[in-house]
Amino acid sequence: MALTADFASSLNNRRRLAGAQRDASLSQNAYSRFLSQQRGSRSLVDLDRGMTRGLQGLGAGYAQRGLGQSGIREQGTSDYATNWMNQKDTITQGIAGTMRQADLGDSAANAQYDSTDADLEAEKNAAIQSTAAQLSSFMPFLGA
């Protein structure tokens, strides 16, 4: 296999294609991170807003029944707050999971590009060695 302009062009085209695929994957992962952050923050704001309103109504409901200072009110409020924190934690974990997936996708895209680049470099080196071997076979005819 001799090194020709077509061979070099083919290697460069394949390297550019691998880079474009990596860049597309990195862009998609960045967009995924952005959407996750937007949705997550919106969900957290909506949750806090709704739970705050509910907490105000919860306290008023116990007061109407004459349970304003009772253990039942304290337990109900505690359960409500625990539920609130659990929901918040679930949303936060969802955001973190999406971020981890995007980071993993970035790592995979970069690893794939590095692997393809190394394969192309090895292919180029093999072609150079093959051409050098072919040329060295002409050495006896050149009087060297």
* Residue whose C-alpha is closest to residue 33's, from 92, 93, 97: 97
- Is residue 138 situated within a structural domain? no
The domain in which residue 57 lies consists of 34-113
- Identify whether 68 is part of a domain: yes
pLDDT tens-digit readout, 98-115: 999 999 999 999 999 999
Q: Which pLDDT does position 83 carry in this prediction?
A: 94
The answer, yes or no, to whether residue 35 has pLDDT greater than 70, is yes
Q: What's the pTM value of the predicted model, to 2 decimals?
A: 0.72
In a domain, 28, yes or no: no
**Does residue 101 lie in a domain region?**
yes
> Considering its fold, how many domains does the chain have in total?
1
Q: Is residue 106 included in any domain, yes or no?
A: yes
pLDDT at 66: 78
Question: Is 54 a member of any domain?
Answer: yes
Considering the domain boundaries, does residue 17 fall inside one? Answer: no
Q: Which long-range contacts (CB under 8 A, 24 or more apart) does 33-42 make?
A: 33/98, 33/99, 33/102, 36/94, 36/95, 36/98, 36/99, 36/102, 37/95, 40/91, 40/92, 40/94, 40/95, 40/98
Does residue 126 belong to any structural domain of this protein?
A: no
Which residues, 6+ apart, have CB-to-CB distance to 28 below 8 Å? 105
pLDDT at 2: 53
Mean pLDDT of 15-21: 95
Model confidence at 75: pLDDT above 90: no
